[in-house]
Chain A
Amino acid sequence: MSVAAATHPPAATRTGVPLLRFAVPLALVLVTAVLVSLPTSALPAWAWKYPLAWQAPLPAWISAFMKWLMETASLGLFTVRDLTRGVASALDAVLFVAKAVLATGVAQGAGASATTLVPPIPWFAMILASSAAAYAVGGRRLALGMAAGLLYLAVFGQWASAMITLASVLVASVIGAAGGLLIGLACVRWRTLERLMSPLLDMAQTMPVFAYLLPMLILFGFGPASAMVATVIYALPPMVRVTIVAIRAVPEEIRELGVMSGCTRRQITWKMLVPSALPALMVGVNQVIMLSLNVVIIASMIGAGGLGWDVLAALRRLDIGGGLEAGLAITVLAVLLDRFAQAMAQRTERVAKEDVAGAAGRRLAVRVALVWALGLWIAAAVWPEIALYPNDWKLSTAPYWSQLVSWINVNFFSVLDAIRTAALLNVLTPVKRFMLALPWPWVVALVMLAGWRLGGLRLALTTGAMTLFLAVVGLWQTSMLTVYLCGVAVLISVVIGVPIGVAAANRPRLWRVVEAVIDTLQTLPAFIYLIPIVMLFRVGDFTALIAIVLYAVAPAIRYTAHGVRRVPATLIEAGQMTGCSRRQLLTRIRLPLATPDILLGLNQTIMLALSMLVITALVGTRDLGQETYMALSKADVGRGLVAGVCVAFIGMVADRLISAAAERLRRRTGLAA
């Protein structure tokens, strides 16, 4: 049988007989084409549309379970409700303090009669204190950048919103980093725990935030605490992963040294392992901060206030300029937080190089600045009128932006519209039709076949089950719309990203430019992309597509460059000595050897594309992202969660298949991971 023969490709590859290698895929493609073009009557109706009667009413079950959990479930001494509400009030208290200090102050009474007891840190004191902290951590340049960035927030009237956002981000980051560290350490100690955690971490990262925002609202009540929990859940997985890897990477000898010095277990962990791994751990902290900001922005759209809310409100008013300004404020905040966290991560390296006298002078300067900031805060408490940023000093560029956009729209409308229509007609709509025309049993079969060929029976069963789940819960059509949008976006990302990665890999100057661009794209909260694109192309799939590609192209570039660079120099030299042309070097040596890395980049690209779905739901896509968004607005826990799990499953199927393929290639070429 041809399928069986094709499971032993090495023989075919080596002898150079491509017939069997191509016969099976070709047959599959043919069957697919035939199936898609068949008239509806050719197959039984259940193959086209998953019958309602076979569907599991999972959303209803989940909603019922949540209801039971919150109303009846008890843990003996107290109910689940008591527990979650206890956690919520603790979180609320922390958040309240952070917001009071940064944004709102503490007031007595309500409304117009409220009297301020403690004012928030006035803007000038905050700028002084933050710049001092930046100076201590990263030197003069970071301090100047910090001052300029914060001044921007004040000048453009974004201060209050930005501080609310900052308060949430700080609290979420501290909880996320500490929690991630502890869970990571526990995973290192108990391998069973690690095995349990791994799929949960995958889920938390691939599920749209909206999907678990909803259960959180029910568990922790309607308030900032539940948004906080959702944020932490989303931001925590990279910290756990980084912790596991970083702690494992501490040399065994260090651990042995601890034992030989008579350290207790706790001493080994906190005096040796964690400090030794600190530079790596700080990379995880940086990730936590950036992800927290991302989610806080999204969460603030459902009423928590802050910069995200400002952007959304402006977009609804069609106030493009206002939206852009608030969006830029998010960007400024993101860049400041990112640079600050990076400086912290690199700090241990730099401290050593400093001379002692310089360090002492630095410390003094920082202390003086902090004392001044405190003094100014107290002064603001005594004379509240000085604390506010004067309205006369505020600037706004919003009108100019609005004018610019309308100018573009007036002059280039026909061009932009032509691009959009062409893309829709020639690419998006046909692919969409094709995906929707596929019979679901055939898709499940194809996925299982791929799983079996790449990783064996187990992989076939898990991926098959996950795919089947999409149909069983009745979201097949919506899922296919998701696959279509993400699929096209990923394809475009790869088509753009791989050549750029290859071109930049061995050209340091070009790489610096490319890296700066993709760093910026990844630092920005995903939400930001939408604003200019919506302005130019209005809402719809094409806008969503561009936003997803912008966000997801970075790993495709990064991993390709990494893979190409990692090809051993001796192999390149061997190629040159056998007389390979430049093109042959690329196609015969560099690309084949870089393929495992490129596949991993593809993997990441898919994950990022899926994570953008929730954002693009705002511009009216009709996929699973929209499903979760709708469920959120209707407070339908079951529906939102199931749609979220579907997104997670699509991501996991892609991840498992691609990882298996990369692993297979690695083993064959004998390259280390």
Chain B
Amino acid sequence: MSHPILACRGVAKLYGARASRFVRDGRFAGAPEELAAAGVVAAVRDVDLEIARGETFVIMGLSGSGKSTLVRCLSALTPPSAGEVLFEGRNLSTMAEGDLLQIRRHQMGMVFQNFALLPHLTVLGNVAFPLDVQGVKKTEREAKALEMIRLVGLSGREGRFPRELSGGQQQRVGIARSLAVKPDLWFLDEPFSALDPLIRREMQDEVLRLQGLLKKTIVFITHDFDEAVRIADRIAIMKDGRIEQIGTAEELLLRPATDYVRAFTQEAPRAKILTARAVMAPAPSGAEFAGRVDARARVASFAHEVEAAERPFAVVDGGAVIGVVDRLAMIDVLVGRERKAVAA
């Protein structure tokens, strides 16, 4: 059978002088007050998740929610205090040092929040760095690096030093570098948080474009729900070191597991999240339709046409009409009302 590319079970990370005792007793899942009283900080508690090959998985949380610690556990930068992280079914923390080195050299790539570019190397040197570490010959690694630099649209700047580039360009270098080894698993740790909002949007498009091209498995960390929505196949929302809920953006919006998740999704751009299936009403028999929309299409993609038409649109799934959407449904989505039956 094929394993999920990355999975973790019962992962916890505790900091503090007496952390190890809590881990031994298995008490880290308990109330944070008890831990805090003992001077122990539980950055991550009890996290289970599976990430499927080719999926874009976003871990979202505010600062201090433990998302950065979690991604460091997932990438084996820090060993978890408890639980296991499995990469293609192999436990990263018990694996031999040499095997882990090989996985990192060939199967993982990471983009950092503050770019982590080496100041003494040019763009070309930075992108070629992971290959240099592997001992790839100079001509070969520079050819590969140039290809990556072209991919992220920085051709002609390969001789520049990092400090001569804008923030967005620097992160493009970071992206090119993380892709140079052609990794299967691509970590992006708040890659755009240090950038201006406009640049951030542009870079999100860039990631979407690259993902369309390369089809990597992505683990993306962010504190920005809108960013998560734009990029994610699935989103995990974290709070106080725990995962509150994992699901597609639409699932989080429609069926929030906790009040915390609901609070997050309330202000979300509903039209960009909800699909036709989620907002449709049962189709009255023999109705006439102004047009048809796919059940998986986002509301934002057809709202304009539906609004302009007098009659409702049919929602189709594989050719069969399964419901209708009309102007009223569009307004419901916009103002965030619960769905009512279309004027019966």
Q: Which of B116, B120, B181 contacts A278 (CB 8 A)?
A: B120
Whether, in the assembled complex, B134 has its beta carbon less than 8 Å from a beta carbon of chain A, the answer is yes
Tell me the nearest residue of chain A to B159, going by C-beta. Answer: A356
| Contact residues in A for B77 (Cβ distance below 8 Å) | 256, 259-260
Find out whether the CB atom of B113 lies under 8 angstroms from the CB atom of A261. no
Find out whether the CB atom of B101 lies under 8 angstroms from the CB atom of A262. yes
CB contact under 8 A between A253 and B113, given known A348-B120, A352-B164:
yes
Find out whether the CB atom of B114 lies under 8 angstroms from the CB atom of A257. no
A257 to B105, CA, bound (A): 11
Find out whether the CB atom of A352 lies under 8 angstroms from the CB atom of B116. no
Find out whether the CB atom of A260 lies under 8 angstroms from the CB atom of B164. no
Find out whether the CB atom of A262 lies under 8 angstroms from the CB atom of B105. yes
Whether, in the assembled complex, B102 has its beta carbon less than 8 Å from a beta carbon of chain A, the answer is yes
Q: Which of A253, A261, A264, A276 contacts B130 (CB 8 A)?
A: A261
A261 to B110, CA, bound (A): 8
Q: Which of A253, A256, A267 contacts B133 (CB 8 A)?
A: A267
Q: How close is A347's CB to chain B, nearest CB, in angstroms?
A: 11
Find out whether the CB atom of A262 lies under 8 angstroms from the CB atom of B130. yes
A259 to B120, CA, bound (A): 18
**Complex interface residues of chain B between 80 and 126 (CB less than 8 A to chain A):** 101-106, 108-110, 112-116, 118-121
Find out whether the CB atom of A262 lies under 8 angstroms from the CB atom of B134. yes
Q: Which of A251, A261, A264 contacts B129 (CB 8 A)?
A: A261
Q: Which of A251, A256, A263, A264 contacts B110 (CB 8 A)?
A: A256
A275 to B161, CA, bound (A): 14
**Complex interface residues of chain A between 13 and 35 (CB less than 8 A to chain B):** none
Find out whether the CB atom of A276 lies under 8 angstroms from the CB atom of B119. yes
Find out whether the CB atom of A260 lies under 8 angstroms from the CB atom of B110. yes
Interface string of A237-269 (1 = CB under 8 A from B): 000000000000001011011111111100100
Main secondary structure of the interface of A (DSSP, over half): helix
Tell me the nearest residue of chain B to A256, going by C-beta. Answer: B77
Q: How close is A325's CB to chain B, nearest CB, in angstroms?
A: 43
Q: Which of B104, B108, B110, B116 contacts A254 (CB 8 A)?
A: B116
Find out whether the CB atom of B118 lies under 8 angstroms from the CB atom of A261. no
Find out whether the CB atom of A260 lies under 8 angstroms from the CB atom of B104. yes
Q: How close is A17's CB to chain B, nearest CB, in angstroms?
A: 38
Find out whether the CB atom of A271 lies under 8 angstroms from the CB atom of B116. no
| Contact residues in B for A356 (Cβ distance below 8 Å) | 159
| Contact residues in A for B187 (Cβ distance below 8 Å) | 260
- A-B pairs, top 10 by smallest CB distance, nearest first, are A262-B105, A253-B116, A262-B104, A261-B130, A275-B120, A260-B110, A253-B112, A352-B161, A257-B116, A262-B101
Q: Which residues of B contact A (CB under 8 A)?
A: 72, 75, 77, 101-106, 108-110, 112-116, 118-121, 129-130, 132-134, 159-161, 163-164, 181, 187
Offer 17 A-B interface pairs, CB within 8 angstroms, sorted by A: A251-B114, A253-B116, A256-B110, A257-B116, A259-B77, A259-B104, A260-B75, A260-B110, A261-B130, A262-B102, A262-B103, A262-B104, A262-B106, A262-B134, A271-B129, A275-B119, A278-B120
Given contacts A261-B129, A278-B120, 4 further A-B contacts (CB under 8 A): A260-B109, A261-B104, A262-B105, A348-B120
Q: Which residues of A contact B (CB under 8 A)?
A: 251, 253-254, 256-264, 267, 271-272, 275-276, 278, 348, 352, 356
